[in-house]
Amino acid sequence: MTNEQVRLLQPAALWQHFADLNAVPRPSKKEERVIAFMKTFGTSLGLQTSVDEAGNVIIKKAATPGMENRQTIVLQSHLDMVHQKNSDTIFDFDTQGIDMYVEGDWVEAKGTTLGADNGIGVAAIMALLSSTDIPHPALEALFTIDEETGMTGALSLKGGLLDGKTLLNLDTEEDHELTIGCAGGIDVTATGTYALTAPKGTTAYRLVVKGLTGGHSGGDIHLGRGNANKLMNRILLTMNKLFGIEIAEISGGSLRNAIPRESVAIVVTESANEAALTTAIYDLATTIRDEYRITDPQMSIGAEAVEMPTQVMDSSFQNQLLRSQYACPNGIYRMSPAIKGLVQSSNNLAKVVVKDGIYNIQCLTRSSVDSEKWDLANAISCAFELMGASVAYTGGYPGWQPRPDAPIIMLMSDLYQELFQEAAHVNAVHAGLECGILGTNYPEMQMISFGPNIYGAHSPDERVQISSVQKFWTYLLATLTRIPVNG
Summarize pLDDT for 356-391 with one digit per residue, the tens. Answer: 999 999 999 999 888 999 999 999 999 999 999 999
In angstroms, rounded to a whole number, what is the distance separating the alpha carbons of residues 390 and 69? 56
For 125, the 3-state DSSP assignment is helix
**Residues sharing a CB contact under 8 Å with residue 378, sequence separation 6 or more, in sequence order:** none
CATH number of 186-397: 3.30.70.360
Name the CA radius of gyration of the chain, rounded.
24
Q: Which is catalytic among the residues 80, 108, 148, 462?
A: 80
The CB density around residue 329, as the number of other CB atoms within 10 Å, is: 18
Letter for the amino acid at 265? A
For 214, the 3-state DSSP assignment is coil
DSSP H helices in 98-151: 116-130
What integer pLDDT is reported at residue 403 of this predicted model?
86
What integer pLDDT is reported at residue 49 of this predicted model?
98
Is-catalytic flag, 314? no
In angstroms, rounded to a whole number, what is the distance separating the alpha carbons of residues 173 and 452? 6
pLDDT in tens, 177-204: 999 999 999 999 999 999 999 999 999 9
In angstroms, rounded to a whole number, what is the distance separating the alpha carbons of residues 37 and 24? 8
Letter for the amino acid at 156? S
Is-catalytic flag, 462? no
The full DSSP string for 14-25 is: HHHHHHHHHTS-
CB 178 within 8 A of CB 448: yes
What integer pLDDT is reported at residue 1 of this predicted model?
43
In angstroms, rounded to a whole number, what is the distance separating the alpha carbons of residues 383 and 389? 9
For 52-183, where are the E strands, in sequence order? 57-61, 73-78, 100-103, 106-109, 139-144, 166-169, 177-182
Q: Report CA-CA distances (Å) from 92 to 5, 18, 111, 295, 331.
A: 23, 19, 12, 29, 31
In angstroms, rounded to a whole number, what is the distance separating the alpha carbons of residues 218 and 256? 10
Strand pairing class (177-182; 425-429): parallel
The CB density around residue 149, as the number of other CB atoms within 10 Å, is: 17
Q: Which residue stretches of the chain have pLDDT < 70?
A: 1-2
The full DSSP string for 313-381 is: E-HHHHHHHHHHHHHS--EEEEE-SSSTT-EEEEEEEEEEEEETTEEEEEEEEEESSHHHHHHHHHHHH
Q: Report CA-CA distances (Å) from 308 to 204, 270, 278, 447.
A: 5, 12, 17, 57
Question: Residue 179's closest CA among 193, 161, 167, 162?
Answer: 167
DSSP H helices in 143-292: 152-156, 228-243, 274-291
Q: Report CA-CA distances (Å) from 331 to 103, 220, 230, 259, 435.
A: 32, 10, 10, 10, 24
CB 460 within 8 A of CB 215: no
Q: Which is catalytic among the residues 31, 140, 147, 171?
A: 147
In angstroms, rounded to a whole number, what is the distance separating the alpha carbons of residues 227 and 206? 19
What is the CATH topology of the domain spanning 3-182+399-481?
Answer: Aminopeptidase (3.40.630)
pTM assigned to the model: 0.75
**Residues sharing a CB contact under 8 Å with residue 456, sequence separation 6 or more, in sequence order:** 215, 462, 463
In angstroms, rounded to a whole number, what is the distance separating the alpha carbons of residues 332 and 255? 18
Letter for the amino acid at 329? P
- Please report the sign of the dihedral spanned by the C-alpha atoms of residue 436, residue 438, residue 441, residue 444: negative
CB 103 within 8 A of CB 77: no
Could you state, in order of their start, the residue ranges of all structural domains in the chain?
Answer: 3-182+399-481, 186-397
pLDDT in tens, 284-321: 999 999 999 999 999 999 999 999 999 999 999 999 99
What integer pLDDT is reported at residue 268 of this predicted model?
98
What integer pLDDT is reported at residue 150 of this predicted model?
81
What integer pLDDT is reported at residue 2 of this predicted model?
64
Name residue 196's beta-bridge partners.
313
Name residue 313's beta-bridge partners.
196
